[in-house]
Structure 1
């Protein structure tokens, strides 16, 4: 135990003092402080998910699918906490939110570079969703576009395991937007028609689908919270608000794992 005049080791190790100095609300509303805090919590959780996704990608490059699955399982646990964050936001009365909403200006959660880095790493490389200024300000985003995504590494692992993954997908330009491919759907069909014979690929597929499901769950909950708080108002970042979120909700990571079910 620390002596009275000694530094607090816990506070110093995790920089808790610095952490609690980062909130600077612009109004007197206690709800604004809550909004800032939960936004920061979500940002840190995005980083936790990304850390595990990056680990899974690295393990696949080493042909260690079991270790990749363990990393994805940890990421899914973090995703569950992320989804729960919306419950805190959902508790805010709309009239209280409107008290400080104008102070956000053009700020929007869609501008989170860690959220976009996570999407890029998983495989959704839609650069139209990112401002060029952000690509310059956050070099991690531009660097991510130069390396294969998690799904790229999944397909390369499957090819090395003997599955007939189309060559153009094994050698594709990492920064390009991924388009669903019938050949990949056939690969996943083969895996699911013989799970015992393709256990490593099957377990990997199930972990990927769980991650994709949780991500879509997060987006859907986001939409519901926005509709509850803002109705049909435009988003703070200039988007169409709920209407734009409905469009985003149509996207699915690892698309062939979803479409394959229609023909299995």
Structure 2
């Protein structure tokens, strides 16, 4: 009979007194100790972990989107391509998470919904910052964060910066495809509105991709990102309808009706509209 396998014989570190371990590096005690149910309902653990992991993925999305914007601002488009592709895949992960949450039935959710009080994903400041960074800007959405001055200030600062699409439009203009002045110098706190001049500029890129390859690839990376983002929104709607029907959300929104309104938002409208004209 052979002895049990011992990884130490091959050099594996087995003692961690005074040394950094896997759990230390990842601070797993803090992460795995952050799930505190407010009821005795079994499915509340699923609900908490679903939303906590979503916030972690959104933190990474903000890390990548912020870096991509910086790269594009200084004209380094290729590093930004990798970051934008990664964000699209992050939203693919977020999409898959809805499949797990949908295993929770209406009866399961009812057992702990009252324990949530007024808390709601509607109040996620990271999600709000992602929307602001991508261009869906609405100063009214600052109000749910007024009780956290540091978060409110960070979101206000985001509204004062060019969105990811604003930076892309500046690149488009600087490459010789004229973007109207009123678009380039608009009030940054307000959302971009589809403009025929911008559509004409992007259409010229799409009609001659070989001569405008980096801009063409940037446009497709943005479309890919919005595609996954739209799927995430759609899956959110269907999950909420499946679990609570048309009840109001815990945060006071119309629930499904509010989420369906968000499905109509276009982040990069000209990149979608030009396809009809090609």
In 2, distance between residues paired with 1:5 and 1:56?
40
User: Structure 1: how far apart are the matches of 2:233 and 2:220?
Assistant: 20
Could you tell me which residue of structure 2 aligns to residue 122 of structure 1?
134
Q: Which residue of 2 aligns with 1:11?
A: 23
In the alignment, the residues of structure 1 paired with residue 185 and residue 264 of structure 2 have an alpha-carbon distance, to the nearest angstrom, of: 27
Q: What TM-score results when the alignment is normalised by the length of structure 2?
A: 0.91
Task: Give the distance between the partners of 1:4 and 1:42, measured in 2 at CA.
Answer: 31
The reply to whether residue 136 of structure 1 matches residue 117 of structure 2 is no
For 1:53, which of 49, 65, 69 is the aligned residue? 65
Whether the 8 Å CA contact 1:209–1:254 is kept in 2: the answer is yes
Once the two structures are overlaid, the 10-residue window that deviates more, 34-43 or 120-129, is 120-129
Equivalent residue for 2:163? 149
Q: Distance in 2 between matches of 1:168 and 1:227?
A: 40
Secondary structure of the corresponding residue to residue 63 of structure 1: coil
Match of 1:99 among 101, 106, 111: 111
Between the aligned partners of 1:96 and 1:66, the Cα distance in structure 2 is 47
Q: Structure 2: which 5+ runs fail to align?
A: 1-12
**2-structure distance, mates of 1:99, 1:7:** 44
Deviations 1:206-238 (A, max 9, x none): 000010111110000000001110111111111
Structure 1 gap segments, 5+ residues each: none
Paired residues of 1:156 and 1:170 also in contact (CA < 8 A): yes
Q: Deviations over 1:95-114 (max 9, x none)?
A: 01110001111111010000
Residues 68-119 of structure 1: CA deviation (Å, up to 9, x unaligned): 1111011111111011110111111210111000111111101000000001
Q: CA deviation at 1:30?
A: 2.1
Match of 1:232 among 210, 225, 246: 246
Q: Distance in 1 between matches of 2:75 and 2:213?
A: 14
Q: Is the 1:151–1:254 Cα contact (8 Å) retained in structure 2?
A: yes
Q: Which protein is bigger by CA-based radius of gyration?
A: 2
Check conservation: 2:180, 2:198, Cα contact below 8 A: yes
Contact 1:135 1:141 in 2 (8 A): no
Which residue in 1 is equivalent to 2:80?
68
Q: Rate the CA distance shift 1:257–1:239 in 2: closer, same or farther, 3 A.
A: same
The CA RMSD over aligned residues, in Å, is: 1.5
Distance 2:52 2:268 in 1: 28
What is the CA-CA distance between 1:167 and the residue it aligns to?
1.4
What is the distance in 2 between the residues matched to 1:29 and 1:7?
Answer: 39
Structure 1 Cα separation of the partners of residues 148 and 174 of structure 2: 33
